Amino acid sequence: MAVKEPTNHPADWVDALDRKLFEAFPGRVVRKDLVKRFKVGDNIPVYVLEYLLGKYCSTTHEVEIEEGIRRVKDVISERIVRADRGELIKSNLRKHGVHKLIDLVTVTFDEKDAGGKYWASLAAAGMDHVHIAESLVYAHERLLTGGIWANLEITYDETRMHKGMTRPFVLNRLQPIQIASANLEEFVAGRARFTRDEWIDILLRTMGYEATHDDFSPRRKLLFLTRLIPMVEKNFNLIELGPRGTGKSYIYREISPYVILLSGGQGSVADLFGWKNRKDKPGLVVRYDLVAFDEVAGPNFKKENDKQMYKGYMEQRSFSRGDDKGTIQADAGIVFNGNIDGDVESIARVSHLFTPLPDSIRNDMAFHDRWHAYLPGWEMPKMQTAYFTDHLGFISDYIAEIFHEGLRNRNFADAHEKYFSFGNHVEARDRTAVVKTVSGLVKLLHPANDPGRGEMEEYVRFALEMRRRVKEQLKRMGGIEYAKVNFSYLHKETGEEQFIGCPELGTIQLIPDTPLPPGDIFTIGFDPAESRYGLYRIQINVSVGSGKFQLVGTSSKKIREAAKMAHDFLKTNARKIGIDRELAGYDVNIQVISLMQGKDAHDLGVAFFVGLVSAILSRTVAAGLVVLGEMSLHGVLSHVEGLGDKLRVAMDAGARRIMIPTANRKDFATLPDEVIDKMQIEFYSDPAQAAFKALSSA
């Protein structure tokens, strides 16, 4: 009895979206888990492997897939070069005269040679000074700007001499593995066959993730897709900080030949912007669509001039190397990936979310103002096996070409204007950032530029949040200069205004709205070392003793001096202000708690004085109160500097009432309306009045 051959039918893993995708884009899709079978080290990127898989395994039928896998294995075995086989290849070339392989080939031009000379180099094979015809270089100009992975035919000709040296290797044929072009019109037409949500899942599967997993919420899907925006939107600057293991760097390493991922100490000015007077050393921002930094390192930003180059390029999309080339335009985006640990909500309240970055740029507000979006990496899941797909997605090289040649050259900057405008806190630089994020999302999800009102509103809200996260950190560093953070958008049809927040701001109140124990008080001081304002909680205990004075919780000489000055003034003037006790018979213990990582401040004197009076009289200060002010040994008050910034810190921390010297009345005209509206502001003319106003309203 004859054995019946198995029917070549769709495999069990095929779902409805796979079938639909294969029908719409035949030959352009591949099962995304197959590449794991062939990953042969770091010498061949995923998009090259997927090219081979797409060539031989672009099908939903199991028998054809298995046959294709065998063919891919043969190609890898025969043509992919291992790093340790370079000399063997040279030997075989000499022996057989010809060798076919797959490698990354780059070309340099030696203008000092008579008439000029092109030389090819093969990265994996370790071969350089390989002859290449000008016609091949002209036909594949990317050979000069980053190189091409290609099927190559190399021949050996021992008669080839150059300047008295034998140069026997000749690159005869070159067939790029990377797709030379991709038809955007066909891509747009294919997209029209899917719903928006189906298309999101397809893009996520293309990135390697299984979008139907329960952990992939609609918001989380948008966060993942945000990593693709710099690939479709020119000069898009993105920062993502989050825990380790969330796949921050994977997509930039594997999906596109137009993206380069730098790590460690890479990324110098010479790397990014080219070497002076070296035409053969063009900068990465010229050669690539996107330069991504993995775990941003400090050495790249220590020189002020280098940092200015980065900032200038991120803002102006051009740079000058200080030679005769003048200003050079480039459209590569910049991505920073880094790690952030701890409770993000607490960090967001007491400090800022650029804290994990190197010292040289951590508090550089102008640098951070260049970010178009801050992706909250703490919302991304740590990668696990169940998150990776075994379904169809686009071949990486195909989608990379669609991004590079097609979508990147489109301009959807006005896509939102049909339905929405922005509120008055969205300033010019903010608007640019938000518009670019919206444009990127529309390119990815609606390449025909046809999102509906509800979809566009989702993108506008998302983009405003990503930029507001940047602005919130700038406000914490720079205060009133960046006070406008209440981002909003308006419906053009109804005029209704909607405001956008950031989830990590949470509901934490550092200043409780309930009374504190006697001797407890909040104040705000300026830390000159960190160039920012910090919130302090002062706790004072007074007990019968021998007049000892002790302060703990800080090593700041200025804070200790302010506390001692307030104590000495109170001892001298206690009876004058109605305290009928001999303070020399009391021990004073003070603890200073820095709630925003401040280490130093000189302007806490009045708060120390009020706290001492509160402790001695065993009376609490008013709930939600912050006392500002600096005083001399004789009780003379100083004008509070940076009042607007201090008021904003107080408001963000949960204060409802604030007390300041009368000398600051004139500053009211410079304060934001929202601060004046949301907090009760009271004045005092001397330290004693400050103390009794604080106590009488408790």
User: Where residue 334 falls among pLDDT bands split at 50, 70, 90?
Assistant: very high
Residue 7: the pLDDT is 43
Q: Are 622 and 518 in contact, with CB atoms under 8 Å apart?
A: no
Q: Are 89 and 158 in contact, with CB atoms under 8 Å apart?
A: no
User: Where residue 322 falls among pLDDT bands split at 50, 70, 90?
Assistant: low
Residue 355: the pLDDT is 87
Please check the confidence at residue 51 and state whether its pLDDT lies above 70: yes
The percent of residues in the chain predicted with pLDDT above 90, rounded, is 48
DSSP state of 631: B
Q: How big is the CA angle at 380 (ends 379 and 383), to the nearest 5 degrees?
A: 150
Cα separation, 573 vs 5, whole angstroms: 105
Query: Mean pLDDT across the stretch 64-76?
Result: 83
Query: What is residue 266's three-state secondary structure?
Result: coil
Residue 577's region, left for phi above 0, alpha for psi from -120 to 50, else beta, is: alpha
Long-range contacts of 104-107 (CB under 8 A, 24+ apart): 104/147, 104/148, 104/149, 105/143, 105/147, 105/148, 105/149, 105/150, 105/152, 105/171, 105/174, 106/143, 106/144, 106/146, 106/147, 106/148, 107/132, 107/137, 107/143, 107/144, 107/147
Please check the confidence at residue 47 and state whether its pLDDT lies above 90: no
Edge to edge, the sheet with strand 488-491 lists 420-422, 488-491, 497-499
Cα separation, 379 vs 366, whole angstroms: 26
Amino acid occupying residue 59: T
Q: Are 627 and 659 in contact, with CB atoms under 8 Å apart?
A: yes
User: Where residue 3 falls among pLDDT bands split at 50, 70, 90?
Assistant: very low
Please check the confidence at residue 196 and state whether its pLDDT lies above 90: yes
Same fold, 83-176 and 520-696: no
Q: Are 441 and 462 in contact, with CB atoms under 8 Å apart?
A: yes
Each residue's pLDDT tens digit, 103-162 = 889 999 888 888 889 999 998 888 999 999 999 998 887 788 778 888 899 999 999 988
Measured CA to CA in angstroms, residue 588 lies from 304, 542, 550, 583, 688 at distances of 47, 5, 6, 9, 19
DSSP state of 288: -
Query: Mean pLDDT across the stretch 484-489?
Result: 88
Query: Mean pLDDT across the stretch 612-630?
Result: 93
Each residue's pLDDT tens digit, 440-456 = 999 999 999 999 999 99
Query: Mean pLDDT across the stretch 631-660?
Result: 89
**Phi, then psi, of 177 in degrees rounded to 5:** -75, -40
Cα separation, 603 vs 605, whole angstroms: 6
User: Where residue 467 falls among pLDDT bands split at 50, 70, 90?
Assistant: very high
Each residue's pLDDT tens digit, 232-280 = 999 999 999 999 999 998 889 878 888 989 876 566 777 788 766 555 5
Structure tokens at 144: 């000069």
The percent of residues in the chain predicted with pLDDT above 70, rounded, is 92
- CA-based nearest residue to 196, from 450, 430, 387: 450
Query: Mean pLDDT across the stretch 220-227?
Result: 97
Fold of 184-411: Rossmann fold (3.40.50)
Residue written as token pair 């339905």? 419
Residue 21: the pLDDT is 95
Structure tokens at 525: 């001081």
Looking from the CA of 697 toward its CB, the CA atoms found within 13 Å total 15
Burial of 244 (0-12, 13-18, 19+ CB in 10 A): exposed
pTM: 0.74
- How many CB atoms are located within 10 Å of the residue 310 CB? 21
User: Where residue 525 falls among pLDDT bands split at 50, 70, 90?
Assistant: very high
Query: Mean pLDDT across the stretch 160-167?
Result: 89
Measured CA to CA in angstroms, residue 504 lies from 220, 313, 479, 587, 639 at distances of 15, 30, 19, 42, 34
Give the residue extent of every domain in the chain: 16-79, 83-176, 184-411, 520-696
Q: Tell me which of 2.40.50, 2.60.120, 3.30.2010, 1.10.3470 is the CATH number of domain 83-176.
A: 2.40.50
What is the CATH code of the structural domain delimited by 520-696? Answer: 3.30.230.10
